[in-house]
Amino acid sequence: MKVAAVQRRFLELVTSAFLIVSVAAKPAAVSVPEIWPTPQEQKSRPDGFQVPNIAALIVDNDTDQPALRVVQEVLKVAGVKQFITTDNHKSPPGSALHVYIGGPSKNNASANALRALGLKGPDDLKAEGYALGIGRDSKKNSVVVLSGRDKVGTFYAAQSLRQLVVPLGGKFWLPSVEIRDWPSTDLRGTIEVFYGVPWSTEERLDQFDFYAKTKQNSYTYSPKDDPFLRQKWREPYPADEIVTLKKLADRAREDHIEFTFAISPGIDICYSSDNDEKALIDKFQSLWNIGVRGFLVPFDDISYTKWNCDEDQAKWGTGGHAAGLAQADFLNRTGPSTITSNITATIAKEAKKVFSHDILIGDNYPVNDYIYDRLLLGPYNGREAGVSDEVYGIAVNPMPQSQASKIAIFGSGLYLWNSHAYNANATWLAGLKYIGGPIWPALKVFAENQFSSALNPQESLVLRPLLEQFWASYNSTGRDLGRRSRELTEYFDLMTDATSQLKRKMNPTFVEQSEGWLDKLGLYGKAGRTAVNMLTAQRAGLESTVRKEREALQNLRDQMGNISMTACPVGKCRQFNPTVAPGIMEPFLNSTVAITDKWLRA
Protein backbone atom coordinates (compact mmCIF):
# COMPACT_ATOMS: atom_id res chain seq x y z
CA MET A 1 0.00 0.00 0.00
CA LYS A 2 1.04 3.61 -0.21
CA VAL A 3 1.48 5.93 2.72
CA ALA A 4 0.13 9.48 2.23
CA ALA A 5 1.97 12.72 2.81
CA VAL A 6 3.37 13.12 6.31
CA GLN A 7 1.68 15.84 8.37
CA ARG A 8 3.41 19.21 8.35
CA ARG A 9 4.08 19.24 12.09
CA PHE A 10 5.83 15.92 11.74
CA LEU A 11 7.71 17.28 8.74
CA GLU A 12 9.08 20.16 10.76
CA LEU A 13 10.39 17.82 13.44
CA VAL A 14 11.50 14.78 11.51
CA THR A 15 11.92 15.64 7.85
CA SER A 16 13.19 18.57 5.86
CA ALA A 17 11.44 17.35 2.76
CA PHE A 18 7.97 16.04 2.01
CA LEU A 19 8.00 12.23 2.22
CA ILE A 20 6.16 9.82 0.01
CA VAL A 21 7.27 6.28 0.86
CA SER A 22 6.24 2.90 -0.45
CA VAL A 23 5.55 0.27 2.17
CA ALA A 24 5.16 -3.36 1.15
CA ALA A 25 4.20 -6.26 3.34
CA LYS A 26 7.78 -6.63 4.56
CA PRO A 27 9.74 -3.77 6.19
CA ALA A 28 12.65 -4.48 3.85
CA ALA A 29 10.56 -2.97 1.05
CA VAL A 30 10.56 0.48 2.65
CA SER A 31 12.07 2.85 0.11
CA VAL A 32 14.71 5.34 1.17
CA PRO A 33 13.28 8.86 1.40
CA GLU A 34 14.88 11.48 -0.80
CA ILE A 35 17.39 13.65 1.02
CA TRP A 36 17.65 17.36 0.28
CA PRO A 37 20.18 18.68 -0.60
CA THR A 38 21.06 15.69 -2.76
CA PRO A 39 24.08 13.89 -1.22
CA GLN A 40 27.24 13.66 -3.29
CA GLU A 41 27.45 9.88 -2.71
CA GLN A 42 24.69 7.60 -1.43
CA LYS A 43 24.12 3.83 -1.43
CA SER A 44 21.25 1.79 -0.04
CA ARG A 45 21.78 -1.36 2.03
CA PRO A 46 19.38 -4.21 2.91
CA ASP A 47 19.76 -4.10 6.70
CA GLY A 48 17.37 -1.38 7.84
CA PHE A 49 15.57 -1.69 11.17
CA GLN A 50 12.72 -0.50 13.35
CA VAL A 51 13.76 2.22 15.78
CA PRO A 52 13.87 0.68 19.30
CA ASN A 53 12.65 2.38 22.47
CA ILE A 54 16.16 2.85 23.85
CA ALA A 55 19.07 4.67 22.21
CA ALA A 56 22.66 4.73 23.41
CA LEU A 57 24.39 7.95 22.39
CA ILE A 58 28.14 7.41 22.14
CA VAL A 59 29.77 10.82 22.43
CA ASP A 60 32.97 12.56 23.43
CA ASN A 61 33.56 15.58 25.63
CA ASP A 62 33.89 17.69 22.48
CA THR A 63 30.88 16.30 20.58
CA ASP A 64 28.94 19.01 18.78
CA GLN A 65 26.06 19.94 21.06
CA PRO A 66 23.71 21.25 18.32
CA ALA A 67 24.19 17.96 16.44
CA LEU A 68 23.44 16.01 19.62
CA ARG A 69 20.31 18.11 20.15
CA VAL A 70 19.06 17.40 16.61
CA VAL A 71 19.70 13.66 16.97
CA GLN A 72 17.77 13.51 20.24
CA GLU A 73 14.93 15.55 18.75
CA VAL A 74 14.65 13.24 15.75
CA LEU A 75 14.82 10.02 17.76
CA LYS A 76 12.24 11.21 20.29
CA VAL A 77 9.76 11.74 17.50
CA ALA A 78 10.78 8.31 16.13
CA GLY A 79 9.66 6.64 19.35
CA VAL A 80 12.79 6.54 21.52
CA LYS A 81 11.73 6.76 25.17
CA GLN A 82 15.08 6.44 26.90
CA PHE A 83 18.52 7.83 26.09
CA ILE A 84 21.70 6.40 27.54
CA THR A 85 24.66 8.71 27.06
CA THR A 86 28.05 7.04 27.21
CA ASP A 87 31.57 8.04 26.30
CA ASN A 88 33.49 6.45 23.49
CA HIS A 89 35.42 4.10 25.80
CA LYS A 90 32.40 2.10 26.98
CA SER A 91 30.38 -0.49 25.10
CA PRO A 92 26.70 0.39 24.71
CA PRO A 93 24.01 -2.15 25.67
CA GLY A 94 23.18 -4.53 22.83
CA SER A 95 19.42 -4.01 23.01
CA ALA A 96 19.69 -0.28 22.35
CA LEU A 97 20.12 1.62 19.12
CA HIS A 98 23.82 2.52 18.96
CA VAL A 99 24.25 6.13 17.82
CA TYR A 100 27.81 7.41 17.34
CA ILE A 101 27.94 11.20 17.13
CA GLY A 102 31.11 12.95 15.95
CA GLY A 103 33.92 12.41 13.49
CA PRO A 104 37.11 10.54 14.34
CA SER A 105 38.79 13.74 15.53
CA LYS A 106 35.99 14.28 18.08
CA ASN A 107 34.87 10.71 18.79
CA ASN A 108 37.36 7.94 18.04
CA ALA A 109 34.71 5.25 18.50
CA SER A 110 32.92 6.46 15.37
CA ALA A 111 35.83 5.33 13.17
CA ASN A 112 35.46 1.75 14.40
CA ALA A 113 31.69 1.93 14.01
CA LEU A 114 32.05 3.08 10.40
CA ARG A 115 34.47 0.25 9.67
CA ALA A 116 31.99 -2.22 11.18
CA LEU A 117 29.45 -0.99 8.63
CA GLY A 118 32.02 -1.08 5.82
CA LEU A 119 31.86 2.68 5.29
CA LYS A 120 34.83 4.96 4.67
CA GLY A 121 35.27 7.83 7.12
CA PRO A 122 35.18 11.58 6.45
CA ASP A 123 38.87 12.42 6.85
CA ASP A 124 39.45 12.99 3.13
CA LEU A 125 36.34 15.15 2.67
CA LYS A 126 36.36 18.93 2.46
CA ALA A 127 35.25 21.09 5.38
CA GLU A 128 31.64 20.52 6.50
CA GLY A 129 31.55 17.10 4.85
CA TYR A 130 30.30 14.01 6.65
CA ALA A 131 29.83 10.27 6.51
CA LEU A 132 26.48 8.87 7.64
CA GLY A 133 26.02 5.14 8.08
CA ILE A 134 22.85 3.31 9.12
CA GLY A 135 22.72 -0.49 9.35
CA ARG A 136 23.61 -3.52 11.43
CA ASP A 137 27.09 -4.51 12.54
CA SER A 138 28.49 -8.06 12.70
CA LYS A 139 26.75 -8.59 16.07
CA LYS A 140 23.40 -7.54 14.55
CA ASN A 141 23.34 -4.35 16.61
CA SER A 142 21.31 -1.50 15.09
CA VAL A 143 23.83 1.25 14.41
CA VAL A 144 23.76 4.89 13.32
CA VAL A 145 27.06 6.73 12.78
CA LEU A 146 27.14 10.49 12.23
CA SER A 147 30.76 11.27 11.48
CA GLY A 148 31.66 14.76 10.36
CA ARG A 149 34.89 16.06 8.90
CA ASP A 150 34.38 18.73 11.56
CA LYS A 151 31.62 19.74 13.97
CA VAL A 152 29.57 21.35 11.22
CA GLY A 153 29.78 18.15 9.19
CA THR A 154 28.41 16.13 12.10
CA PHE A 155 25.58 18.66 12.43
CA TYR A 156 24.75 18.24 8.74
CA ALA A 157 24.78 14.45 9.14
CA ALA A 158 22.10 14.94 11.79
CA GLN A 159 20.08 17.05 9.36
CA SER A 160 20.22 14.20 6.85
CA LEU A 161 19.19 11.71 9.54
CA ARG A 162 16.18 13.96 10.19
CA GLN A 163 14.91 13.15 6.70
CA LEU A 164 15.45 9.38 6.80
CA VAL A 165 13.00 8.38 9.53
CA VAL A 166 10.00 6.59 7.99
CA PRO A 167 6.65 6.04 9.79
CA LEU A 168 5.57 2.42 9.50
CA GLY A 169 2.51 0.82 11.10
CA GLY A 170 2.53 3.04 14.17
CA LYS A 171 6.29 2.63 14.58
CA PHE A 172 9.29 4.18 12.84
CA TRP A 173 11.84 2.65 10.53
CA LEU A 174 15.38 3.64 9.58
CA PRO A 175 16.44 2.42 6.13
CA SER A 176 20.03 1.33 5.84
CA VAL A 177 22.23 3.75 3.89
CA GLU A 178 25.83 4.71 3.27
CA ILE A 179 26.30 8.43 2.63
CA ARG A 180 29.43 10.48 2.04
CA ASP A 181 28.57 14.08 1.44
CA TRP A 182 30.16 17.52 1.23
CA PRO A 183 29.29 21.00 -0.09
CA SER A 184 30.11 22.17 -3.61
CA THR A 185 30.41 25.76 -2.39
CA ASP A 186 32.02 27.01 0.81
CA LEU A 187 29.60 29.84 1.60
CA ARG A 188 25.86 29.27 1.16
CA GLY A 189 23.17 31.59 2.42
CA THR A 190 21.49 34.97 2.26
CA ILE A 191 22.15 38.66 2.65
CA GLU A 192 19.26 40.68 4.04
CA VAL A 193 19.85 43.80 2.02
CA PHE A 194 16.52 44.62 0.40
CA TYR A 195 14.85 48.02 0.63
CA GLY A 196 11.67 48.00 2.68
CA VAL A 197 10.51 46.89 6.12
CA PRO A 198 13.27 44.66 7.55
CA TRP A 199 12.58 41.19 8.84
CA SER A 200 11.60 40.93 12.48
CA THR A 201 13.80 39.18 15.02
CA GLU A 202 11.45 36.19 15.04
CA GLU A 203 11.55 36.00 11.25
CA ARG A 204 15.35 35.94 11.29
CA LEU A 205 15.46 33.24 13.95
CA ASP A 206 13.04 31.18 11.88
CA GLN A 207 15.22 31.70 8.81
CA PHE A 208 18.32 30.48 10.68
CA ASP A 209 16.60 27.23 11.64
CA PHE A 210 15.46 26.83 8.02
CA TYR A 211 19.02 27.36 6.75
CA ALA A 212 20.33 24.75 9.19
CA LYS A 213 17.89 22.13 7.89
CA THR A 214 18.93 22.87 4.29
CA LYS A 215 22.67 22.92 5.12
CA GLN A 216 23.23 26.64 4.56
CA ASN A 217 25.89 28.37 6.61
CA SER A 218 25.77 32.12 6.03
CA TYR A 219 23.57 35.10 6.87
CA THR A 220 24.56 38.73 6.40
CA TYR A 221 22.73 41.35 8.42
CA SER A 222 22.42 44.41 6.20
CA PRO A 223 18.80 45.68 6.12
CA LYS A 224 18.70 48.93 4.18
CA ASP A 225 16.19 50.44 6.61
CA ASP A 226 18.36 49.97 9.72
CA PRO A 227 19.58 53.57 10.24
CA PHE A 228 22.57 52.41 12.30
CA LEU A 229 23.98 50.72 9.20
CA ARG A 230 23.71 53.74 6.93
CA GLN A 231 22.56 57.21 8.00
CA LYS A 232 23.65 56.70 11.63
CA TRP A 233 26.53 54.35 10.96
CA ARG A 234 28.88 56.32 13.24
CA GLU A 235 26.52 56.04 16.22
CA PRO A 236 26.52 53.06 18.60
CA TYR A 237 23.48 50.82 18.79
CA PRO A 238 21.14 51.41 21.76
CA ALA A 239 21.46 48.79 24.50
CA ASP A 240 18.18 47.05 23.66
CA GLU A 241 19.18 46.61 20.02
CA ILE A 242 22.55 45.17 21.06
CA VAL A 243 20.63 42.59 23.10
CA THR A 244 18.57 41.70 20.02
CA LEU A 245 21.64 41.40 17.82
CA LYS A 246 23.27 39.13 20.41
CA LYS A 247 20.18 36.91 20.34
CA LEU A 248 20.56 36.60 16.58
CA ALA A 249 24.29 35.92 16.77
CA ASP A 250 23.77 33.25 19.43
CA ARG A 251 21.08 31.42 17.42
CA ALA A 252 23.18 31.61 14.27
CA ARG A 253 26.07 30.00 16.15
CA GLU A 254 23.80 27.20 17.39
CA ASP A 255 22.70 26.58 13.79
CA HIS A 256 26.31 26.69 12.52
CA ILE A 257 25.63 29.83 10.52
CA GLU A 258 28.23 32.53 10.07
CA PHE A 259 26.52 35.75 11.15
CA THR A 260 28.07 38.65 9.24
CA PHE A 261 27.42 42.27 10.15
CA ALA A 262 27.47 44.58 7.12
CA ILE A 263 27.69 48.33 7.52
CA SER A 264 27.35 50.77 4.60
CA PRO A 265 29.12 54.05 5.39
CA GLY A 266 29.52 55.09 1.76
CA ILE A 267 26.75 57.69 1.81
CA ASP A 268 28.90 60.19 3.76
CA ILE A 269 32.19 58.57 4.77
CA CYS A 270 35.45 60.43 4.40
CA TYR A 271 37.86 57.64 3.52
CA SER A 272 40.90 59.62 4.65
CA SER A 273 39.42 60.60 8.03
CA ASP A 274 40.94 59.08 11.16
CA ASN A 275 37.74 59.87 13.05
CA ASP A 276 35.62 57.94 10.57
CA GLU A 277 38.02 55.04 10.73
CA LYS A 278 37.75 55.01 14.52
CA ALA A 279 33.94 55.21 14.38
CA LEU A 280 33.86 52.19 12.11
CA ILE A 281 36.22 50.18 14.33
CA ASP A 282 34.24 51.11 17.44
CA LYS A 283 31.05 49.93 15.78
CA PHE A 284 32.67 46.63 14.88
CA GLN A 285 34.07 46.26 18.40
CA SER A 286 30.58 46.58 19.90
CA LEU A 287 29.45 43.68 17.70
CA TRP A 288 32.60 41.67 18.39
CA ASN A 289 31.85 41.94 22.10
CA ILE A 290 28.57 40.04 21.65
CA GLY A 291 30.08 37.25 19.57
CA VAL A 292 29.85 38.51 15.98
CA ARG A 293 32.92 37.47 14.00
CA GLY A 294 32.01 38.29 10.40
CA PHE A 295 32.15 41.88 9.12
CA LEU A 296 31.45 43.41 5.74
CA VAL A 297 31.72 46.97 4.40
CA PRO A 298 29.77 47.12 1.11
CA PHE A 299 30.00 50.27 -0.99
CA ASP A 300 26.82 49.81 -3.00
CA ASP A 301 24.07 52.23 -4.05
CA ILE A 302 26.38 55.27 -3.81
CA SER A 303 28.17 57.60 -6.19
CA TYR A 304 31.57 56.45 -7.43
CA THR A 305 32.50 59.81 -8.91
CA LYS A 306 31.67 62.16 -6.04
CA TRP A 307 33.64 62.44 -2.81
CA ASN A 308 32.13 63.26 0.58
CA CYS A 309 35.14 65.33 1.68
CA ASP A 310 37.90 67.38 0.03
CA GLU A 311 40.58 65.26 1.69
CA ASP A 312 39.56 62.18 -0.32
CA GLN A 313 39.86 64.02 -3.63
CA ALA A 314 43.27 65.31 -2.62
CA LYS A 315 44.46 61.83 -1.68
CA TRP A 316 42.97 59.70 -4.48
CA GLY A 317 42.00 62.05 -7.27
CA THR A 318 38.77 61.77 -9.25
CA GLY A 319 36.77 59.21 -11.22
CA GLY A 320 35.70 55.64 -10.74
CA HIS A 321 39.29 54.38 -10.58
CA ALA A 322 39.95 56.65 -7.63
CA ALA A 323 36.86 55.34 -5.86
CA GLY A 324 38.12 51.81 -6.47
CA LEU A 325 41.41 52.66 -4.81
CA ALA A 326 39.62 54.10 -1.80
CA GLN A 327 37.37 51.09 -1.47
CA ALA A 328 40.00 48.47 -2.25
CA ASP A 329 39.67 46.82 1.15
CA PHE A 330 36.55 45.11 -0.08
CA LEU A 331 35.08 44.03 -3.41
CA ASN A 332 32.03 41.99 -4.22
CA ARG A 333 30.19 41.08 -7.38
CA THR A 334 26.55 40.57 -8.36
CA GLY A 335 27.25 39.14 -11.82
CA PRO A 336 27.20 40.85 -15.23
CA SER A 337 24.10 42.89 -14.28
CA THR A 338 22.16 43.83 -11.17
CA ILE A 339 19.50 41.16 -11.78
CA THR A 340 21.28 38.34 -13.60
CA SER A 341 19.32 35.77 -15.60
CA ASN A 342 22.35 33.52 -16.07
CA ILE A 343 25.61 33.07 -14.18
CA THR A 344 28.06 30.81 -15.96
CA ALA A 345 31.36 29.27 -14.94
CA THR A 346 33.04 31.45 -17.58
CA ILE A 347 31.64 34.63 -16.02
CA ALA A 348 32.73 33.51 -12.56
CA LYS A 349 36.21 32.58 -13.78
CA GLU A 350 36.64 35.97 -15.49
CA ALA A 351 35.56 37.81 -12.36
CA LYS A 352 38.00 35.82 -10.24
CA LYS A 353 40.79 36.64 -12.68
CA VAL A 354 39.98 40.37 -12.63
CA PHE A 355 39.85 40.60 -8.84
CA SER A 356 42.79 38.19 -8.28
CA HIS A 357 41.11 36.54 -5.30
CA ASP A 358 38.16 34.33 -4.45
CA ILE A 359 34.88 36.13 -4.96
CA LEU A 360 31.49 36.11 -3.31
CA ILE A 361 28.49 36.58 -5.59
CA GLY A 362 25.59 38.61 -4.25
CA ASP A 363 22.67 37.12 -6.20
CA ASN A 364 19.68 39.46 -6.42
CA TYR A 365 16.98 36.81 -6.38
CA PRO A 366 14.22 36.54 -5.20
CA VAL A 367 14.40 40.17 -4.04
CA ASN A 368 11.42 42.22 -5.23
CA ASP A 369 12.06 45.73 -3.90
CA TYR A 370 12.27 47.00 -7.48
CA ILE A 371 8.92 45.35 -8.41
CA TYR A 372 7.25 45.32 -5.03
CA ASP A 373 3.80 44.49 -6.47
CA ARG A 374 5.15 41.02 -7.33
CA LEU A 375 6.10 37.94 -5.37
CA LEU A 376 8.89 36.01 -7.11
CA LEU A 377 8.08 32.38 -6.41
CA GLY A 378 9.71 30.62 -9.35
CA PRO A 379 12.70 28.27 -9.10
CA TYR A 380 16.30 29.27 -8.51
CA ASN A 381 17.40 28.95 -12.12
CA GLY A 382 20.08 29.92 -14.63
CA ARG A 383 23.12 29.20 -12.46
CA GLU A 384 25.56 26.84 -14.17
CA ALA A 385 26.89 23.90 -12.19
CA GLY A 386 30.54 24.89 -12.70
CA VAL A 387 30.08 28.26 -10.97
CA SER A 388 30.64 26.57 -7.62
CA ASP A 389 34.15 25.60 -8.73
CA GLU A 390 35.11 29.22 -9.35
CA VAL A 391 33.60 31.19 -6.44
CA TYR A 392 33.90 31.17 -2.69
CA GLY A 393 30.16 31.38 -2.30
CA ILE A 394 26.81 32.88 -3.24
CA ALA A 395 24.54 34.91 -0.99
CA VAL A 396 21.03 35.39 -2.33
CA ASN A 397 19.03 38.53 -1.61
CA PRO A 398 15.55 37.60 -0.39
CA MET A 399 12.24 39.47 -0.34
CA PRO A 400 10.76 41.37 2.62
CA GLN A 401 8.25 38.49 2.65
CA SER A 402 10.44 36.06 4.59
CA GLN A 403 8.16 33.03 4.35
CA ALA A 404 7.55 33.29 0.60
CA SER A 405 11.31 33.79 0.12
CA LYS A 406 11.91 30.27 1.41
CA ILE A 407 10.84 28.78 -1.93
CA ALA A 408 13.82 30.34 -3.72
CA ILE A 409 16.17 30.00 -0.73
CA PHE A 410 15.42 26.27 -0.58
CA GLY A 411 16.53 26.09 -4.21
CA SER A 412 19.67 28.18 -3.82
CA GLY A 413 20.70 26.14 -0.79
CA LEU A 414 20.36 22.87 -2.68
CA TYR A 415 22.20 24.28 -5.70
CA LEU A 416 25.10 25.50 -3.58
CA TRP A 417 25.44 22.20 -1.72
CA ASN A 418 25.51 19.96 -4.81
CA SER A 419 25.39 22.05 -7.97
CA HIS A 420 26.19 19.17 -10.33
CA ALA A 421 23.11 17.21 -9.20
CA TYR A 422 20.85 20.26 -9.12
CA ASN A 423 17.63 20.28 -11.11
CA ALA A 424 15.80 23.61 -10.81
CA ASN A 425 12.28 22.36 -11.47
CA ALA A 426 12.56 19.21 -9.34
CA THR A 427 14.01 21.26 -6.51
CA TRP A 428 11.23 23.84 -6.86
CA LEU A 429 8.63 21.10 -6.40
CA ALA A 430 10.54 19.65 -3.45
CA GLY A 431 10.65 23.10 -1.85
CA LEU A 432 6.90 23.53 -2.28
CA LYS A 433 6.34 20.15 -0.63
CA TYR A 434 8.66 20.98 2.24
CA ILE A 435 7.18 24.43 2.85
CA GLY A 436 3.55 23.55 2.11
CA GLY A 437 3.40 20.13 3.76
CA PRO A 438 0.00 18.45 3.22
CA ILE A 439 -1.36 21.47 1.32
CA TRP A 440 1.58 21.77 -1.05
CA PRO A 441 -0.67 21.42 -4.15
CA ALA A 442 -2.44 24.64 -3.14
CA LEU A 443 0.93 26.33 -2.65
CA LYS A 444 1.97 25.12 -6.11
CA VAL A 445 -1.08 26.79 -7.70
CA PHE A 446 -0.18 30.00 -5.87
CA ALA A 447 3.51 29.84 -6.83
CA GLU A 448 3.06 28.86 -10.47
CA ASN A 449 1.05 32.03 -10.99
CA GLN A 450 3.91 34.14 -9.56
CA PHE A 451 6.55 32.28 -11.53
CA SER A 452 8.18 34.74 -13.91
CA SER A 453 11.29 36.83 -13.24
CA ALA A 454 14.63 37.59 -14.83
CA LEU A 455 15.55 33.97 -14.01
CA ASN A 456 12.31 32.45 -15.30
CA PRO A 457 10.83 34.25 -18.34
CA GLN A 458 7.65 32.16 -18.55
CA GLU A 459 4.56 32.78 -16.45
CA SER A 460 1.66 30.59 -15.27
CA LEU A 461 2.94 27.37 -16.81
CA VAL A 462 -0.33 25.48 -16.25
CA LEU A 463 -2.85 28.27 -16.82
CA ARG A 464 -1.29 29.71 -19.97
CA PRO A 465 -1.62 26.57 -22.15
CA LEU A 466 -5.16 26.03 -20.87
CA LEU A 467 -6.05 29.54 -22.02
CA GLU A 468 -4.37 28.98 -25.38
CA GLN A 469 -6.32 25.75 -25.92
CA PHE A 470 -9.57 27.44 -24.92
CA TRP A 471 -9.08 30.34 -27.34
CA ALA A 472 -8.04 27.99 -30.16
CA SER A 473 -11.30 26.10 -29.76
CA TYR A 474 -13.43 29.22 -29.23
CA ASN A 475 -12.03 31.04 -32.27
CA SER A 476 -12.32 28.08 -34.66
CA THR A 477 -15.29 25.80 -35.20
CA GLY A 478 -15.94 25.53 -31.50
CA ARG A 479 -15.08 21.85 -31.55
CA ASP A 480 -14.01 20.64 -28.10
CA LEU A 481 -15.16 23.97 -26.62
CA GLY A 482 -17.09 22.18 -23.91
CA ARG A 483 -14.05 20.13 -22.89
CA ARG A 484 -11.68 23.09 -23.07
CA SER A 485 -14.08 25.24 -21.06
CA ARG A 486 -14.39 22.51 -18.45
CA GLU A 487 -10.61 22.07 -18.14
CA LEU A 488 -10.10 25.81 -17.81
CA THR A 489 -12.84 26.36 -15.24
CA GLU A 490 -11.55 23.42 -13.20
CA TYR A 491 -8.19 25.19 -12.95
CA PHE A 492 -9.89 28.48 -12.10
CA ASP A 493 -11.64 26.61 -9.28
CA LEU A 494 -8.23 25.37 -8.11
CA MET A 495 -7.07 28.99 -7.92
CA THR A 496 -10.06 29.90 -5.77
CA ASP A 497 -9.65 26.82 -3.59
CA ALA A 498 -5.89 27.38 -3.21
CA THR A 499 -6.54 30.78 -1.66
CA SER A 500 -9.05 29.28 0.76
CA GLN A 501 -6.78 26.40 1.76
CA LEU A 502 -3.68 28.50 2.22
CA LYS A 503 -5.47 31.14 4.28
CA ARG A 504 -6.90 28.45 6.58
CA LYS A 505 -4.00 26.03 6.89
CA MET A 506 -0.72 27.67 5.90
CA ASN A 507 1.84 29.19 8.23
CA PRO A 508 0.08 32.30 9.65
CA THR A 509 3.12 34.48 8.95
CA PHE A 510 3.11 33.36 5.32
CA VAL A 511 -0.58 34.25 5.06
CA GLU A 512 -0.11 37.65 6.67
CA GLN A 513 2.79 38.55 4.38
CA SER A 514 1.11 37.23 1.22
CA GLU A 515 -2.52 38.10 1.92
CA GLY A 516 -3.03 40.58 -0.91
CA TRP A 517 -1.60 38.18 -3.49
CA LEU A 518 -3.68 35.34 -2.07
CA ASP A 519 -6.84 37.43 -2.33
CA LYS A 520 -5.99 38.40 -5.90
CA LEU A 521 -5.44 34.76 -6.89
CA GLY A 522 -8.78 33.70 -5.43
CA LEU A 523 -10.66 36.53 -7.12
CA TYR A 524 -8.93 35.75 -10.42
CA GLY A 525 -10.20 32.19 -10.06
CA LYS A 526 -13.77 33.39 -9.58
CA ALA A 527 -13.43 35.99 -12.35
CA GLY A 528 -11.97 33.42 -14.74
CA ARG A 529 -14.84 31.00 -14.22
CA THR A 530 -17.34 33.85 -14.61
CA ALA A 531 -15.70 34.97 -17.86
CA VAL A 532 -15.85 31.46 -19.33
CA ASN A 533 -19.50 31.11 -18.31
CA MET A 534 -20.18 34.46 -19.95
CA LEU A 535 -18.65 33.41 -23.27
CA THR A 536 -20.33 30.01 -23.35
CA ALA A 537 -23.69 31.64 -22.59
CA GLN A 538 -23.04 34.05 -25.44
CA ARG A 539 -22.41 31.12 -27.80
CA ALA A 540 -25.72 29.66 -26.70
CA GLY A 541 -27.52 32.98 -27.31
CA LEU A 542 -28.56 33.37 -23.66
CA GLU A 543 -28.51 37.17 -23.42
CA SER A 544 -29.93 37.43 -19.91
CA THR A 545 -27.28 35.01 -18.62
CA VAL A 546 -24.56 36.92 -20.47
CA ARG A 547 -25.64 40.20 -18.85
CA LYS A 548 -25.77 38.57 -15.42
CA GLU A 549 -22.26 37.11 -15.80
CA ARG A 550 -20.95 40.38 -17.23
CA GLU A 551 -22.15 42.27 -14.16
CA ALA A 552 -20.71 39.63 -11.83
CA LEU A 553 -17.37 39.83 -13.62
CA GLN A 554 -17.23 43.59 -13.23
CA ASN A 555 -17.97 43.28 -9.52
CA LEU A 556 -15.11 40.82 -9.12
CA ARG A 557 -12.73 43.08 -11.03
CA ASP A 558 -13.76 46.00 -8.84
CA GLN A 559 -12.93 43.92 -5.76
CA MET A 560 -9.52 43.11 -7.21
CA GLY A 561 -8.88 46.76 -7.94
CA ASN A 562 -9.65 47.64 -4.34
CA ILE A 563 -6.99 45.33 -2.87
CA SER A 564 -4.45 47.68 -1.33
CA MET A 565 -1.07 46.82 0.14
CA THR A 566 1.79 48.93 1.47
CA ALA A 567 5.45 48.81 0.48
CA CYS A 568 8.22 51.00 1.84
CA PRO A 569 11.17 50.85 -0.58
CA VAL A 570 13.90 53.41 0.08
CA GLY A 571 12.03 54.54 3.19
CA LYS A 572 9.06 55.93 1.23
CA CYS A 573 5.85 54.03 1.87
CA ARG A 574 3.28 53.78 -0.88
CA GLN A 575 0.09 51.89 -1.66
CA PHE A 576 -0.06 49.35 -4.46
CA ASN A 577 -2.30 46.71 -5.97
CA PRO A 578 -0.66 43.25 -6.01
CA THR A 579 0.10 41.59 -9.34
CA VAL A 580 -0.69 37.91 -9.93
CA ALA A 581 -0.23 35.98 -13.19
CA PRO A 582 1.27 39.04 -14.93
CA GLY A 583 0.49 39.24 -18.62
CA ILE A 584 -1.88 36.29 -18.37
CA MET A 585 -5.10 36.98 -16.48
CA GLU A 586 -5.69 40.63 -17.30
CA PRO A 587 -5.38 40.14 -21.10
CA PHE A 588 -7.74 37.16 -20.84
CA LEU A 589 -10.37 39.08 -18.90
CA ASN A 590 -9.99 42.13 -21.14
CA SER A 591 -10.56 39.98 -24.22
CA THR A 592 -13.64 38.31 -22.80
CA VAL A 593 -15.13 41.68 -21.87
CA ALA A 594 -14.38 43.15 -25.31
CA ILE A 595 -15.99 40.19 -27.08
CA THR A 596 -19.04 40.27 -24.84
CA ASP A 597 -19.58 44.02 -24.99
CA LYS A 598 -19.37 43.94 -28.78
CA TRP A 599 -21.92 41.10 -28.87
CA LEU A 600 -24.29 42.94 -26.54
CA ARG A 601 -24.12 46.09 -28.68
CA ALA A 602 -24.85 44.21 -31.91
Residues 6+ apart with CB under 8 A from 318: 305, 307
Q: What is the pLDDT of residues 256-272, one digit of tens each?
A: 999 999 998 878 888 77
Instruction: Tell me which fold the domain 187-422 belongs to.
Output: TIM Barrel (3.20.20)
CATH number among 3.30.750.24, 1.20.1510.10, 2.60.120.1360, 1.20.58.460, domain 463-601: 1.20.58.460
Residue 397: phi and psi, rounded to 5, are -105, 110
The residue extents of the domains of the chain are 8-181, 187-422, 463-601
How much is the pLDDT for 15? 36
What mean pLDDT is reported for the chain?
A: 89
589 — pLDDT class (breaks 50, 70, 90): very high
> Which one has a higher pLDDT value, 267 or 436?
436
3-state class (DSSP) for residue 32: coil
Residue 13's pLDDT band, with cuts at 50, 70 and 90, is: very low
Banded model confidence at residue 30, pLDDT cuts 50, 70, 90? confident
pLDDT digits (tens, 9 = 90+) for 317-358: 666 555 555 444 333 444 555 678 889 999 888 888 887 788
Predicted confidence (pLDDT) per residue in 129-171, tens digit: 999 999 999 899 999 999 999 999 999 999 999 999 999 888 9
| DSSP β-bridge partners for residue 83 | 55
Residues in the chain: 602
Q: Is residue 10 pLDDT above 50, yes or no?
A: no
CA 52 to CA 493: how far, in whole Å? 46
Torsions phi, psi of 280, nearest 5?
A: -70, -45
Q: What's the CA angle centered on 397, arms 391 and 399, to 5 degrees?
A: 160
Give pLDDT, residue 477. Answer: 73
Looking at per-residue pLDDT, the higher value among 20 and 243 belongs to 243
pTM of the prediction? Answer: 0.89
Say if CB 119 and CB 112 are below 8 A apart.
Answer: no
The pLDDT tens digits of the residues spanning 103-138 come to: 988 788 999 999 999 999 999 999 999 999 999 998
Q: What's the pLDDT score for residue 94?
A: 78
pLDDT at 274: 86
Q: Which of 16, 77, 89, 22 is nearest to 51 (CA)?
A: 77
Q: How far apart are the first and last CA of the chain?
A: 60
Specify the pLDDT at position 388.
Answer: 85
The pLDDT tens digits for 454-513 are 999 999 999 999 999 999 999 987 789 999 999 999 999 999 999 999 999 999 999 999
User: 8-181, what's its fold?
Assistant: Chitobiase; domain 2 (3.30.379)
Residues 547-575: tens digit of each pLDDT: 999 999 999 999 999 999 999 877 688 99
Instruction: Name the band, by pLDDT with cuts 50, 70 and 90, for residue 316.
Output: low
Does the fold of domain 187-422 match that of domain 8-181?
Answer: no
